[in-house]
């Protein structure tokens, strides 16, 4: 009986470790901005169904392995039912250790508007914050030239 209980606990604890995403809610972007004030920061919004997003994650992983002073935040816009697939994609991108979020808001349009009223949901969407927290939003694939120039500022 003790073995069954132990196995159950191990199984249950394994599930809790499998979901490492923090919830991304209406005010999460503001909280992140305050937390990393005066630090270079990249916030990447992505989806498991977006090939360009996955390419960008790999590109960021490679670039940030050489630029460890830049903080990275990733936000998966898919629901929590996609968490395992999202984790697999992030692991394959060889990203540095970073905070991972996932949408939890039921009204995605309201959430997206709270993130950026000028954003219409196109992916990938990436926000580059320099040291002074001047923000450069970018929709679509990140070019190598843009990323190199931004990292060398």
Task: Summarize pLDDT for 69-110 with one digit per residue, the tens.
Answer: 999 999 999 988 999 999 999 999 999 999 999 998 789 999
Closest CA to 103 of 83, 123, 125: 83
Note the pLDDT of residue 105. 78
Question: Tell me, what's the pLDDT at 107?
Answer: 92
Residue 10 pLDDT > 70, yes or no?
Answer: no
pTM for this predicted structure = 0.86
Q: What percent of the chain has pLDDT over 90?
A: 82
Q: Is the pLDDT of residue 51 over 60?
A: yes
Query: What does the chain come to in residues?
Result: 153
pLDDT at 17 over 50: no
CA angle 141-146-149, nearest 5°?
Answer: 155
The pLDDT assigned to 1 comes to 55
Exposed e or buried b per residue across 79-101, where buried means at least 16 C-beta atoms within 10 angstroms of its C-beta: eeebbeebbebbeebebeebbbb
40: pLDDT strictly greater than 60? yes
């Amino acid at each position: 009986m003790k073995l069954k209980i132990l196995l159950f606990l191990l199984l249950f604890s394994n599930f809790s470790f499998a979901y490492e995403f923090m919830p991304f809610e209406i005010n999460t972007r503001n909280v992140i901005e305050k937390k990393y004030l005066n630090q270079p920061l990249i916030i990447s919004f992505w989806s498991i169904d977006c090939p360009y997003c996955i390419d960008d994650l790999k590109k960021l992983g490679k670039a940030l392995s050489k630029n460890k002073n830049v903080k990275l935040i990733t936000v998966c816009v898919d629901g929590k039912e996609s968490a395992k697939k999202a984790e697999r994609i992030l692991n394959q991108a060889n990203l540095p250790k970073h905070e991972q979020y996932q949408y939890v808001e039921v009204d995605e349009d309201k959430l997206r508007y709270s993130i950026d009223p000028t954003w219409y949901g196109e992916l990938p969407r990436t926000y580059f914050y320099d040291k002074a927290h001047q923000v450069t939003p970018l929709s679509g694939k990140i070019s190598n030239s843009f990323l190199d120039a931004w990292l060398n500022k």
